Amino acid sequence: MICGGVDGGSRAIKVVLLDCDGCEVLASGVCDQGVDHDRLARELFDELLEAKGLAPRDVAGIVATGYTRAAITFADTTVTEITCHAAGVRQGVPDAATVIEIGGQDSKLLRLSADGTVRDFAMNDRCAAGTGRFLEVVASRLDVGLDELGEMARAAQAPASISSMCVVFAETEIIGLLAGGESPENIVAGVQASIASRVAAMLGRDAAPPVLFTGGVALIPGMTDALASAIGADVAVAPDPQMTGALGAAIVACRQAEAGGGS
């Protein structure tokens, strides 16, 4: 039995096709988000099906999750990112106890029970200063690629203090730091530390290990080290972290199809 998961994120759309019998990923893909969320997701889904020689009728169920999940009309149902990220992380790391997910527009903290269900969670969706958008802003302002941020942060002599709680004001603060002679390296290190400190504030003192880092920001060099430093605990990156939500959605789709007698 084959099922699909669609994660309509704020910055990208991710799709996973899953063989439910062996919980094996048959195909996965990512495309940039746009105005027509449903069309973009459907085109990516159809491309993956065609590449595997499959047709829509071969898919027993589809679950959509993420920022734009309500717009994915070809999905059978929608499920929150909280549930999907928990399922996706646990598939790769069965004993994961704490999950940190940082996406383009929000960040989440999940505490999992021994059976993998979500025991508690916290979410920051009010300000982009604790998300991937902040990193995009600083990379653009410094005219560097996101993949260069980690090396720059490692070269920092003393991370700059970024005090603004809003990404708009933080950008103004960064401009002021540059004008005052602060090095780009120190600014990058300061921005990564600022994002990590916001996650640490959500986490508090409860960081049960293993702690897994997921979401697109987990792919940006330097962020894992910044998080580990902020929370005072080891942090591991989940397997294929950008696809975790879509994988979890596909896993949920398999469970629902099996419960409904799908074949």
Is the pLDDT at 164 greater than 70, yes or no?
no
With bands split at pLDDT 50, 70 and 90, how would you rate the model's confidence at 140? confident
- Architecture of domain 95-238 in CATH? 2-Layer Sandwich (3.30)
Instruction: Tell me whether domains 1-93+239-263 and 95-238 share a fold.
Output: yes
The kind and range of the H/E element at 62 are strand 59-65
Report the candidate in 74, 130, 77, 135 with the shortest Cα–Cα distance to residue 101. Answer: 130
pLDDT at residue number 166: 64
Instruction: Judge: domain 1-93+239-263, CATH 3.30.420.40.
Output: yes
Neighbours of 262 (CB within 10 A): 16
Which residues share a beta bridge with 112? 118
The whole-model pTM stands at 0.89
- For residues 9 and 30, the answer to whether their CB atoms sit within 8 Å is no
State the pLDDT confidence band at 198, using cuts at 50, 70 and 90: confident
Residue spans of the domains in the chain: they are 1-93+239-263, 95-238
Q: Do you know the residue count of the chain?
A: 263
pLDDT in tens, 35-63: 899 999 999 999 999 999 999 999 999 99
